[in-house]
Amino acid sequence: MRTRLHVNGEAREVEHEPQETLLSLLRYRLGLTGSKEGCGEGECGACTVFVDGAPVVSCLVLAAQCEGAQVTTIEGLGRGHPDGLHPVQRAFIETGAVQCGFCIPGIIMAAADAIEREPDADRESLRRLVAGNLCRCTGYTKILDAIELARARARSGGPPCSTK
Amino acid sequence: MSQRTLELGFSGHSEERRVEVPPDAPPPWDLRSDLKVAGKPHPRLEARLKVTGAARYTADQRLPGMIFAGAVRSPHAHARVRRLDLSRAKKLPGVLYSEAYPQREVRYAGQAVAALAAESEQVLDDALALVEVDYEVLPHVVRTEDALAEDAPAVAGRRNVRQGRGMRRGSLRRVEEAHARADVVLTREYRTQVQTHTCLEPHGSVARWEGDRLTVWASTQATFAFRQTLARALGISAAQVEVITEHMGGGFGSKFGADAWDVFAARAARATGRPCFFMLDRRAEHLVAGNRPDSIQRCTFSVRRDGKLLGAQVTSHGTAGLGRGAGVLNPAIYAFEATYSDQYDVLTHAGSARAFRAPRHPQGVFALEGMLDELAEAIGMDPLELRRKNDPHPVRQAQYDVGAEAIGWSRRKPSGSSPGPLKRGLGVAAARWAHNARPGTAVRCRIGRDGSVLVANGSQDIGTGTRTILAQIVAEELGLPLAAVEVRLGRTRDPYGHGSGGSVTAPSIAPPARRAAYACRQRLLAAVAAALGCEAESLSLREGRVHGAERELSFAAACGLLPTESIEATATGGPEDMSYPSFTREVAGVQFAEVEVDAELGTVRVVKVVAVQDCGLVANPLLARSQINGGVLQGISYALHEERILDARTGDMLNANLLDYKILGAREVPEIVAIPFSVANGRTSTGMSSLGEPPTVPTAGAVANAVANAIGARVRSLPITPEKVLAAIAEAERTRRASDGEKKKKKKKRIF
Ligand code: FES
Ligand code: FES
């Protein structure tokens, strides 16, 4: 079957199997392999992308459901930001929040959403907002540090975080 | 040889040592070395690639014509395969290759009975469902305790219990003598569970043939071992195979060689002439890709009233499934007068264990550190004091002070005295590790006439930061900024590197990297000296410039003077830069934990962990902290949540996903204070110690001790679940009442 959607701002028309997931469409059909598959069952969050501005685990979304949708993936998150990096991405680099990196695209998507949706969330609430994303390497400590750093910068008049 | 005097040790505790430095090697870094790039907190080189999704992992390979492979796995722990019929599956259009494994018996749930490769993942899924298998279910045993029973079904051979080779250590007679001299002798049983590695990136590979040459993109922590095992399985020479591991999503000990699925992918690719993709799914990850064995540890420990530890005796039984190596490692930290351990593997119908971050250590240390606290309690001594008295390691002695200060140990109250339903407690535990710098890693350094610097090694960066550390070492030696050095890792056509196990990678790769850079530096300076007509000895290389007595020039200009297109040196780690006398023999670490236990619900919340970890000379504090944080994360997860649950009735795993197999998430992670502790050991020319594994060793022990301190009762079994906490509290309550009753009776007797 065929689905038309916007991915990272570009109009795409993609031929795919009826039962194919959005994750599979992104990774296999469009070659956007930044979104990862850690479980394929909606449990790890590595495949998180935005569909019409809301974060979803793309392994549980059917591609066919995305007709006409605006999809943003990790590859498109930094669009329009200085040096092509969303403030959350930049903060992840600076604080050393990345290790093996497999969970990172999903966590960054969740984090970017979190600081936009709840700009005043304290650290405890931030934990809740990224609780759907598992990481086996980092201890989350620096991930939370990075999110806080990005949010602090956004508040103090840094570049806007919105990319949706 | 030249003579050098090094200052070794750590701040506040150092000594001078004279060493002989071979002529072609740089002198070891020590406390006086004024390092500019090495030892500094540089963000990892590939961070940008990873945060933008551009980093390519194994499953991200998209090759033209690629086909997809998967396996049919047994749902039974033990069964005879009566009939295996692939004919319907093979008839499905798009199924391109298959193999059947009509072994007489399957011996664990998840064992593959057939594998297929197909045009697309959708066709593959349909085809796998069409494979017909008729199983005759046989009696199984999946739990360690059950397998110990006299009438348990035999798993392999006649007996399920086997003594591990070299697994009886120490002298039982001497331990018994030590116990006889003790004031307190305690016997307790400690248990730990089976933990699965749960790397976020599953196991697997993508194989592509071009003629008789095979290229494999693999998620492996040992590119060269992977190449070797794969070549052997395929009956080809290793030289025909190139393994590529550009980025990989965690291994933790479970990814050391080519597995059955990798071999299948290579065979399917050869048979069909198309690249083949085979990644495990999450269920298979839990069932067939390794785990940490469980343990039942019977411990008898003794102490003198003044706190001198006397005897430590441990008998352990654990299951590595069908595999071996379920032993634990307990009493190597403290100076007991005598120790004895006796370890048994118990065979069960379950997937084989694999090395798992610090194999044998966390389970052993959990028991050891629990026993220490129980002894301290029995003689009325502060648990930290007991450790200080018996710990011979100078670094750990200093770390106890640092950690105690950071956690606020002076706040610790007697166990069980925390009032109210929310009870706070503090605990401590320690770890030891070996200085695992292993000779044999080779690093090539090349400086181009255009000023480019390339460092290459064929081993992998599994997330630890090897790439960044390599660049730092070479930049330091050449007096360049980090950005001037390009690193190529993860291709077996480059020089040999070890697998990332035993925490060897950074300590083993850094000395040859430095020596290769040193050799290039000498040759560059010689070329510059020749061009300028001065002595090479009068030149130095720092801050991106070559400095001479009269002039200086930029690094790029200096490279322009090279007589050839490039200069290149390859150095192999060996005695010349890896076997100086060392300041300490072992890597030291201590951790402190603070917990809050809800005594009504039994839930445990870890509030804070302080981890003080000997890193040798810290290669990069940012990366070091990450390693420590990650070790602590996995340690807490092990202490409180993780457990592979095999159903005794069906033998299948009940929680083979990421929802029911709980790993620690962002919500539960406590404040982790990671303190990299720098020690100049002088053993190698770069001085860094093993760091990947030791930080996960003491965490569960520290958490368990903190829980016991909070509730005044001890949970001797991991994971520490609410049920176990409540049971321990109830048990302690019963004991207290009984002994109160005794006391009252005695009093009455006296009065009347
Ligand atoms: S892959 Fe989608 S949640 Fe794990
Ligand atoms: S960095 Fe490895 S899983 Fe998060």
Strands B161-170 and B112-118: unpaired
Q: Which residues contact B621 (CB under 8 A, 6 or more apart)?
A: B39, B40, B41, B676
Q: Which of residues 4-43 of A touch B (CB under 8 A)?
A: 17, 19-20, 24, 27-28, 31-41, 43
In the predicted structure, residue B134 carries a pLDDT above the cut 70: yes
The shortest CB-CB distance from A99 to any of B56, B630, B658 is to: B630
pLDDT tens, residue by residue, B330-351: 767 999 999 999 999 999 999 9
Q: Which residue among A35, A101, A131 places its CB closest to the CB of B666?
A: A131
B291-295, B320-324, B434-438, range with the lowest pLDDT: B434-438
* Cβ atoms of B441 and B573 closer than 8 Å: yes
Q: Which of B 246-275 lie inside 8 A of A, CB atoms?
A: 247-250, 252
Under DSSP, the state recorded for B717 is B
pLDDT number for residue A78? 97
- Residue B403 CA to residue B674 CA, distance in Å, equals 10
Task: Give the C-alpha distances (Å, rounded to integers) separating B237 from B230, B271, B490, B699.
Answer: 9, 18, 19, 44
| Chain B hits for A131, Cβ within 8 Å | 665-667
Query: Is B303 within 8 Å of B379 (Cβ atoms)?
Result: yes
CA-to-CA distance for B584 and B590, rounded, in angstroms? Answer: 16
Question: B627 to each of B37, B55, B463, how far by Cα in Å?
Answer: 19, 20, 9
**What pLDDT, on the 0 to 100 scale, is given for residue A139?**
83
Of A98, A105, A136, the CB nearest to B250: A136
Phi, psi of B55 (to 5 degrees): -65, 130
Cβ atoms of residues A48 and A35 within 8 Å = yes
Model pTM?
0.96
Say how many Å lie between the CA of residue B424 and the centre of ligand 2: 31
Q: Which of A43, A49, A130, A133 to mutate to test the pocket of ligand 1 (most atoms within 8 A of CB)?
A: A43
Predicted confidence (pLDDT) per residue in B396-427, tens digit = 999 999 999 999 999 999 999 999 999 999 99
Report the residue of chain B nearest A19, measured CA to CA.
Answer: B122
For B558-582, b where at least 16 C-beta lie within 10 A, e where not — what string? bbebbeeeebbbbbbbbebbbebeb
In this structure, are residues A4 and A11 in contact, taking their beta carbons and an 8 Å threshold? yes
pLDDT at B317 over 90: yes
Q: What angle do CA B370, B374, B377 make, to 5 degrees?
A: 140
Q: Judge whether residue B41 has pLDDT over 90.
A: yes
Question: Which residue is associated with the tokens 């069906």?
Answer: B650
Q: Give per-residue pLDDT as tens, B192-248.
A: 999 999 999 999 999 999 999 999 999 999 999 999 999 999 999 999 999 999 999
Report how far Cα B512 is from the mean position of its chain's Cα atoms.
23
Which of B52, B280, B672 has the most A C-beta neighbours within 10 Å, making it the best mutation to test the interface with A? B52
CA dihedral B234→B236→B240→B244, nearest 10 degrees, is: 30
Tell me the backbone φ, ψ of residue A119, rounded to 5 degrees. -65, -20
pLDDT above 80: residue B745: no
- Give the pLDDT confidence score for residue B744 in this predicted structure: 73
Q: Tell which of A75, A137, A148 to mutate to test the B interface (max B CBs under 10 Å).
A: A137
Asked if pLDDT for residue B502 goes beyond 90, the answer is: no
Residue B455 predicted with pLDDT over 60:
yes
Find the residues whose C-beta lies inside 6 A of ligand 2: A 99-104, 135-138; B 200, 249-250, 463
B162–chain A Cβ distance below 8 A for any pair: no
pLDDT > 70? residue B14 = yes
User: Could you tell me which CATH class the domain A2-72 is placed in?
Assistant: alpha beta
Between CA B312 and CA B178 the distance in angstroms is: 9
Please, which residues have CB within 8 angstroms of residue B409's CB and are 6 or more apart in sequence?
Answer: B384, B403, B426, B428, B592
CA of A160 to the centre of ligand 1 (A): 28
Distance CA A138, CA B627 (A): 7
Ligand (nearest to CA of B657): 1
Phi-psi region of B488 (alpha: psi -120 to 50; beta: other; left: phi over 0): beta
- In chain A, the residue whose alpha carbon lies closest to the alpha carbon of B200 is A38
Inter-chain CB proximity B629 and A98 less than 8 Å? no
The closest CB to that of B665, out of A38, A85, A134, belongs to A134
Instruction: Check A130 against B666: CB less than 8 A apart.
Output: yes
Two tokens, residue B439:
């000779």
Report the residue of A27, A99, A124 to disrupt the B interface, i.e. the one with the largest count of B CBs within 10 Å. Answer: A99
Q: Label residue A9 by pLDDT band (50, 70, 90).
A: very high
Nearest-neighbour CA in chain A from B733: distance (Å): 35
The mean pLDDT of A19-25, rounded to a whole number, is 96
Q: What is the pLDDT averaged over residues B505-509?
A: 91
pLDDT of residue B751: 47
pLDDT level of residue A162 (50, 70, 90 thresholds): low
Cβ-Cβ contacts under 8 Å, B49 against chain A = 101
Mean pLDDT on B102-129: 95
**Residues B495-522: what's their mean pLDDT?**
94
Tokens 């004919």: give the residue: B87
Q: What is the pLDDT of residues A32-54, one digit of tens each?
A: 999 999 999 999 999 999 999 99
Q: Which fold has domain B393-435+583-730?
A: Aldehyde Oxidoreductase; domain 4 (3.30.365)
* Chain A residues touching residue B628 (CB < 8 angstroms): 139
Cα(B147)–Cα(B371) distance, integer angstroms: 27
In the predicted model, is pLDDT for residue B688 greater than 60? Answer: yes
Q: With an 8 Å Cβ cutoff, are A103 and B200 in contact?
A: yes
- Which of A39, A92, A93, A102 has most ligand 2 atoms within 8 Å of CB, for mutation? A102
Whether residue B617 is predicted with pLDDT greater than 80 in this model: the reply is: yes
Binned at pLDDT 50, 70 and 90, residue B752 comes out as: very low
Other Cβ atoms within 10 Å of B649 Cβ, number: 9
CATH architecture of the domain B65-144 equals: Alpha-Beta Complex (3.90)
DSSP label at residue B668: T
Q: What is the DSSP code (8-state) at residue B200?
A: S
Strands (E), B220-294: 241-244, 276-279, 291-292
Quick check: B129 contacting A, CB < 8 Å? no
pLDDT of residue B748: 57
Rounded CA-CA distance B478/B463 in Å is: 25
User: Where exactly does CATH 1.10.150.120 map onto chain A?
Assistant: 87-155
Closest by alpha carbon to B233, among B210, B196, B262, B211?
A: B262
The predicted structure's pLDDT at residue B746: 65
**CATH number for the B437-578 domain, one of 3.40.1580.10, 3.20.20.140, 3.40.50.300, 3.30.365.10?**
3.30.365.10
Task: Count CB neighbours of B139 within 10 A.
Answer: 11
Which of the ligands is closest to the CA of residue A61? 1
Q: Are the C-beta atoms of residues A110 and A122 closer than 8 Å to each other?
A: no
Structural domain spans, chain B: 65-144, 393-435+583-730, 437-578
Q: Give yes or no for A159 touching B (CB within 8 A).
A: no
Task: Please state the separation of Cα B560 from the chain's center in Å.
Answer: 44
B501 pLDDT more than 60 = yes
Quote the CA–CA distance of B752 and B748 in Å, as a whole number: 6
Residue B467 in contact with residue B475, Cβ under 8 Å?
no
Q: Tally C-beta pairs within 8 A across A and B.
A: 175
**What is the per-residue DSSP string for chain A?**
-EEEEEETTEEEEEE--TT-BHHHIIIIIS--TTS--S-SSSSS-TTEEEETTEEEETTSSBGGGGTT-EEE-HHHHTTTSGGG--HHHHHHHHHT--SS-SSHHHHHHHHHHHHHH-TT--HHHHHHHTTT---SSS-SHHHHHHHHHHHHHHHTT-S-----
Looking at residue A157, its pLDDT comes to 66
Computed over every residue of chain B, the mean pLDDT equals 95
Q: ipTM surpassing 0.90, yes or no?
A: yes
* β-pair partners for B595: B425, B606
Of the candidates B101, B180, B90, B187, the residue with the CA atom closest to the CA atom of residue B131: B90
Backbone angles phi, psi at B676, to 5 degrees: -65, 130
Q: Does residue B323 contact residue B353 with C-beta atoms inside 8 Å?
A: yes
Length of chain B counted residue by residue: 752
Single out the residue of B317, B287, B395 nearest to residue B149, CA to CA: B317
As a whole number, mean pLDDT of residues B363-384 equals 98
Give the list of residues 6+ apart from residue A98 with CB closer than 8 angstroms, or none: A92, A104, A138, B44, B47, B50, B51
Summarize pLDDT for B548-586 with one digit per residue, the tens: 988 899 999 999 999 999 999 999 999 888 889 999 989
**Whether residue B742 has pLDDT greater than 80:** no
- B62 contacts in A (CB within 8 Å)? 28, 31, 33
Number of H helices, E strands in chain B: 18, 30
Class of domain A87-155: mainly alpha
Give the number of whichever ligand sits closest to the CA of residue A135.
Answer: 2
Rounded to the nearest whole angstrom, what is the distance from the C-alpha of residue A93 to the centroid of ligand 1? 23
- Ligand 1 atom showing the smallest separation from residue A45 Cα: 3
Please name which ligand lies nearest the alpha carbon of B465.
2
Asked if the domains B65-144 and B437-578 are classified in one and the same CATH topology, the answer is: no
Q: Is the dihedral of CA B705, B711, B714, B720 positive or negative?
A: negative
Query: Strand B67-73's sheet: what is its strand order?
Result: B95-100, B112-118, B67-73, B276-279, B204-210, B213-218, B241-244
Q: How does pLDDT run across B47-86, given as a tens digit for each residue?
A: 999 999 999 999 999 899 999 999 999 999 999 999 999 9
CB-CB under 8 Å, B200 with A38 = yes
